[in-house]
Structure 1
């Protein structure tokens, strides 16, 4: 909870850059799924992971939930980079297209999240999961609700 507490006093971009630089701890989900923050800039975030057997479903490929989780993380954090201190967001809708099977042979994959449109209350974001050659393994779209901090 240390990172979440500090997030309330930093802009979204400052928070993600501090996490990427190792100045504050990454969220527990990133440890659990072995995801890494590669970069964070205004409106664009990149996460990475190397598929491992613990990511597998019963039929021998990376579970769709793992793929959805990294894409959702990249999309949500791309929105977070635009938010002021004290503001947050939540996912309202998530759609994922699984385009190619992912296994340990796929190598490192990057989830590249970016803003399509950000309004005052909602945002439309997207992400692609790609390998080093640019081959797309999955694509996602999401609608997020922007949560403004209410002053007392």
Structure 2
């Protein structure tokens, strides 16, 4: 078995270079991302870009626009992926706050969420994630606070 860092594992996953003997200390792709069809398309140290192809038939609300909760999940996936690249084995993390501002409606569309840190602290980190429609216009902006967990607080997560 070849154990890789999260960053190396994700970069190989994006390139389609993961083999059965490769693994890392977190689970990628995540089950929620597989269920919803969220794909990681770019990752760096503390940054991540994810995409989802939305459809009215699968992702809309009662008004026919793409549900805002899906945009929250897309941003949370980008932020969680970005933060996981800076987490060593034995540590984990959890979101403690997430705020979204919606700017434009989304219909059937390829959405791209780009997450990067505003502040990277020892215990608390703050991220911003911009969500763009395929026409390049910003659909939403998300900010989130993530808490890094160590020792007993990381056990069993």
Distance in 1 (alpha carbons) for counterparts of 2:92 and 2:4: 11
CA distance in 1, matches of 2:30, 2:46: 20
- Do the aligned residues in 2 keep the contact of 1:11 with 1:83 (CA within 8 Å)? no
Instruction: Work out the CA distance in 2 between the residues paired with 1:28 and 1:83.
Output: 20
Say whether residues 1:122 and 2:124 are aligned partners.
Answer: yes
Matching of residues 30-45 of structure 1 within 5 Å: 30-45=33-48
CA 1:64–1:144 in structure 2 vs 1: closer, same or farther (change >3 Å)?
same
Instruction: Note the residue ranges of structure 1 that are not aligned, 5 or more in a row.
Output: 1-5
2:112 is aligned to 110
| Displacement after TM superposition at 1:10 (Å) | 4.6
Higher RCO structure, 1 or 2 (CA under 8 Å, sep 6+): 1
2:96, 2:13 → 1: CA distance? 25
Query: CA 1:36/1:43 → structure 2, altered by over 3 Å: closer, same or farther?
Result: same
Match of 1:83 in 2: 87
Residue pair 1:117, 1:123 contacting (<8 A) in 2 also: yes
TM-score, with normalisation over the residues of structure 2? 0.81
CA 1:76/1:135 → structure 2, altered by over 3 Å: closer, same or farther?
A: same
Question: Which of 4, 14, 17 pairs up with 1:20?
Answer: 14
Q: 1:11 to 1:86 in 2, by over 3 A?
A: farther
Aligned partner of 2:32 in structure 1 is 29
RMSD over aligned CA atoms reads 2.2
Matched residues, number: 142
Residue of structure 2 in register with 1:3 after alignment: none
Select 2:66's aligned residue among 59, 62, 65.
62
CA contact (8 A) 1:124 1:143 kept: yes
Q: Which deviates more from structure 2 when the two are superposed, residues 135-144 or residues 80-89? A: 80-89
Structure 2 unaligned residues grouped into runs of 5+: none
